[in-house]
Amino acid sequence: HTIAEKVFNDKQCKCARKCNDKISPEDRETLFKSFYSLGNQTQQNIFIHGCVKSNSIIRRRPTNQSKPPRSHSFSFFVRVKNVDIRVCKTYFRQTFQVSDGRIHNCCVKNEINCVVDGRRNSTPGNKVDISDVVNHINSFPAYCSHYTRSHNPNRKYLHPDLTIKKMYDLYVLWCDENQKAPVKEKMYYHVFSTNFNLHFKPPLKDTCQVCDCFKNRLTLANEDERKLIEIEKELHLRKAEQARDSLKEDQGKCSDDYYVLTFDLQKALAFPKLSTSVA
């Protein structure tokens, strides 16, 4: 449901104070725009509270005794060019286009803490806690690809055998074990898609044989061996980075005066015949 934007209207109050004669339409419109430029409901309520003065009732007239007598009356003021001008309640309400109920709350609850808008402070009854979903997705190992991090550094890859359906089924089992109510699969998919940059497919670019070897060695190495392998891997990646920089530098030197012939030997047959895939 969309609430229509407030539009200024210089409506006459027709009271004995002749409020419209005291304030020009231009100044009244300035008051209107200043009020709605405050931004949020709480600041507006504080503004209304500051424009209202509470007065003790000195003389009472005979009234219907069924209603409890009021202990205070209220006077309304607006500030124009650093001068506080008293106006009637109708003029005040029409200027800022606020309801009697809102003015009443700001007047009766005359402490600043009481005019704070609490509508957004309560948690909606249908709000779903997704922290368990986020933690569950984070529990799956994910890795960054060295070959795609240059153009998409935040993308990570999950194991190709995984799917969102498998992950959700594991999440449901985890909820059963921990006696928690699982979210719907649609919500799990929504959290996965909006809160993460994860992909199941391996990088489209070919992987490096040396990097694959390092990966396999790391899975079998102990702590001391792992440190040495990590150093070797880092040196290899630095050399690869230097090779790419050198390639870019050569590409920048390209000229019509040079002709270069390249041959793709990937499909070349090894001789003598070898069982290894690396020719």
Across residues 33-57, what is the average pLDDT? 83
Domain ranges of the chain: 19-56+71-115, 131-199, 209-251
Task: Give the model confidence (pLDDT) of 147-187 as tens digits.
Answer: 666 666 777 888 888 889 999 999 999 999 988 889 999 99
- What is the rounded CA–CA span in Å between residue 172 and residue 106? 49
Alpha helices in the chain (DSSP H): 19-22, 25-36, 41-51, 89-96, 100-108, 131-138, 164-177, 185-195, 209-220, 223-252
Residue 73 forms beta bridges with which residues?
55
- pLDDT at position 2 is 56
- pLDDT at position 168 is 93
Task: Give the model confidence (pLDDT) of 32-44 as tens digits.
Answer: 988 888 878 888 8
Task: Give the model confidence (pLDDT) of 76-89 as tens digits.
Answer: 899 988 888 999 99
Task: Provide DSSP, 60-110.
Answer: -----TTSPPPSEEEEEEEEETTEEEEE-HHHHHHHHT--HHHHHHHHHS-
Better-predicted residue by pLDDT, 270 or 139 = 139
Residue 278 has pLDDT above 70, yes or no: no
Task: Give the model confidence (pLDDT) of 206-221 as tens digits.
Answer: 567 788 888 888 888 8
- pLDDT at position 114 is 47
Across residues 6-17, what is the average pLDDT? 84
* Phi, psi (rounded to 5 degrees) for 72: -140, 155
- pLDDT at position 173 is 93
Between the CA of residue 44 and those of 37, 47, 48, 103, what are the distances in Å? 9, 5, 6, 11
- pLDDT at position 268 is 56
Q: Across all residues in the chain, what is the average pLDDT?
A: 79
Residue 265 has pLDDT above 80, yes or no: no
Q: What is the pTM of this model?
A: 0.40
86: three-class secondary structure by DSSP: strand
Percent of the chain with pLDDT over 90: 10
Q: Which residue has the tokens 């990646």?
A: 237
Residue 192 has pLDDT above 50, yes or no: yes
* Phi, psi (rounded to 5 degrees) for 187: -70, -40
Residue 276 has pLDDT above 60, yes or no: no
